[in-house]
Amino acid sequence: MITQIVAVTGGLGLALTGLGLVLMWLLRRRSIGLMLVVVAVVTVTATVAGVVVITLEMIIPGHARDVALTVSYIAGLVGMGVAMAVARQVFAASRRLVAAVEAVAPSHDYVPPSGPLPAELQIISDALRQAYERLREGHERERALEGARRELVAWVSHDLRTPLAGMRAMAEALEDGVAADDATVRRYHTRIRLEVDRLSHMVDDLFELSRIHAGALRLSPRRIGVGDLVADTLAGAEALAGAKGVRLVGEAGPVPPVNADAAELGRALRNLVVNAIRHTPADGTVVVRAVADHQAVRLSVADCCGGIPEDDLPRVFDVAFRGETARTPGPDRGAGLGLAIARGIVEAHQGAITVVNEGAGCRFEIALPLSEPPG
Ligand SMILES: Nc1ncnc2c1ncn2[C@@H]1O[C@H](COP(=O)(O)OP(=O)(O)O)[C@@H](O)[C@H]1O
Ligand SMILES: [Mg+2]
């Protein structure tokens, strides 16, 4: 008797399960709600069919059979009803999620739908919120970069136009013979050459900066002696310091070698030293010092500039930033790229560059990671 019941219900169950699986496969791209309904229909049909077959096959007294059939019909209806309700709920929740996504304005945050969501949809909603947040951050970074780029182009075109106009006027004067006396001709030639030098420096700096920004700075790091680097930089700046009457002092203690690109790091240090000399009055002193502690090798350049205004301190490394005095036209006016380049080079070496006001002026410091951990 029992074996017969098991065989009949088991066989029916298996057949319906097979049918259900085929249906599920056919519906695999359709709504979860529809799948739930299929699951309910299959379960209910299996139960009702089992009961019907068994009550008809077996000799069960009429009353008991009616009770069994009624109970299974009602259970089936309840099951279907619940499945439909769940399906509606899932469908409504997913509509709310889609509506929330569609409501996201460009470069705004995603606002999750109000009210609770089923766990899986909640996970998707959380993932969406994070994705939108990252997207917005990316947008903001891009906008800031774009702003800086536009500002740079504006500065540079201004900076190129002014000297070009001057050179054009001088060249025309030479060409037309307006400037004819020897002294004027010599003076114009010298000024034209100085302007050309300055402009080629500027173009060179722009090129370096664009390589830094594009992440295309190719470093060839080697173990280099910091003392040599300081000595070379000082030697290169000697003429400028002499012309301004600024004393240049180098102090390199026993410092371990660093892993760095000598040419690039030299360029960064030179930018600091040239700035220091420019901003130090005659008779002032610029001190370039190399020291090492447990974390880093530190190269510092201290000057007698009288201090950088507190408001300017966080901005001196920005592209195209120039302090008040540096903005007034003059022969040794820079384009505001030197410190941005220095920072790019130092950061490409995994180092950090900082500035503080100290004593009679300010002190810039390049900190480079030790090439070997202290042991
Ligand atoms: N050693 C310094 N002392 C005082 N101010 C400095 C010094 N170095 C840089 N600055 C300030 O930072 C600004 C940016 O420097 P930099 O990027 O080298 O551009 P530039 O030298 O072309 O003006 C300068 O215009 C100046 O205002
Ligand atoms: Mg400079």
> pLDDT tens for residues 288-345?
999 999 889 999 999 999 999 999 999 999 888 888 765 555 556 677 899 999 999 9
Which residues lie closer than 8 Å to 310 by C-beta, 6 or more apart?
357
Pocket test for ligand 1, best of 152, 280, 319, 322 (most atoms within 8 A of CB): 322
pLDDT of residue 292: 94
Question: Domain boundaries in the chain?
Answer: 2-102, 220-375
323 CB under 6 A from ligand 1?
Answer: yes
pLDDT of residue 81: 87
pLDDT of residue 42: 81
213 touches 219 (CB < 8 A): no
pLDDT of residue 373: 58
334 CB under 6 A from ligand 1?
Answer: yes
Whose atoms come closest to the Cα of 362: which ligand?
1
Specify the CATH class of 220-375 in words.
alpha beta
CB contact burial 2-23 (16+ within 10 A = b; e otherwise): eeeeeebbeebbeebeeebeeb
Residues in the chain: 375
254 touches 190 (CB < 8 A): no
Residues of the chain under the 50 pLDDT cut? 375
- Measured in Å, residue 372 CA sits from the centre of ligand 2 at 32
280 CB under 6 A from ligand 1?
Answer: no
335 CB under 6 A from ligand 1?
Answer: yes
Which residues lie closer than 8 Å to 46 by C-beta, 6 or more apart?
12, 13, 16, 17
The Cα 200–Cα 202 span in angstroms is 5
pLDDT of residue 134: 92
The Cα 46–Cα 52 span in angstroms is 10
Helix (H, G, I), strand (E, B) or coil at 358: strand
Tokens 């009429």 belong to 62
Number of H helices, E strands in the chain: 9, 7
- Measured in Å, residue 25 CA sits from the centre of ligand 1 at 70
- Measured in Å, residue 316 CA sits from the centre of ligand 1 at 6
- Measured in Å, residue 347 CA sits from the centre of ligand 1 at 19
